[in-house]
Amino acid sequence: MLCYSLQENPSMVGVIPTSAAPGSAAARGRTVVRAAQFGPSVWISFAAITPDGHAVYFATYPEPPTAPWVGQVRVVDLATGKSRVVHTPAGQPGLITDDPSVRHLLLQIQAQGTNSLRLASLDLATGYITYLPSGWLASMGDVITW
């Protein structure tokens, strides 16, 4: 399965089988979550599918954005369609990336009890945040990488 996210209004996340015949993603795949499921003015900024194709992690944010960011990292089970919150706050939109195994997210969030933004690793199985040492932020515009 391939995962894609559309940042249009409304935003959504879809999946398409890698064996699908040529054609549009809308015709060959399926929508797994719509931003509107989580509120009338919510949008999705990030999505990643697990290597086994069983779940998709994604981040939702209220519109207009607030500071500090109050989004949520969520996961949806592709077999049942049920989703749950993994972590709140989600950090800054666009500054989230997954590791190749989709076991951790790297995100820029406000460090607890401070006004400063820090790079952190989110363990998707436990929801536990580990702040990385200062200076580990590998930022280029609105992108961070492992």
Burial-class residue 83 by CB neighbours within 10 Å (0-12, 13-18, 19+): buried
Q: What is the pLDDT of residue 143?
A: 57
Q: What is the pLDDT of residue 131?
A: 86
- How many structural domains does the chain have? 1
pLDDT at 140 over 50: no
Q: Where are the beta strands (DSSP E) in 27-110?
A: 30-34, 42-49, 55-62, 72-77, 83-87, 96-98, 104-110
- CATH number for the domain spanning 81: value is 2.120.10.30
7-40 tens-digit pLDDT: 777 899 999 999 999 988 888 999 999 999 998 8
Task: Identify the H or E element spanning 5.
Answer: strand 2-6
Q: What is the Cα Rg of the chain in Å?
A: 15
pLDDT at 137 over 80: no
Q: Domain containing 44: what range? A: 2-144
Q: Does the model's pTM come out above 0.95?
A: no
Contact 98, 90 (CB under 8 A): no
Percent of the chain at pLDDT > 90 equals 40
Contact 120, 110 (CB under 8 A): no
Q: What is the pLDDT of residue 45?
A: 85
* Higher-confidence position of 2 and 68: 2
Distance linking the first and last C-alpha atoms of the chain: 23
* Distance from the Cα of residue 42 to its chain's centroid: 13
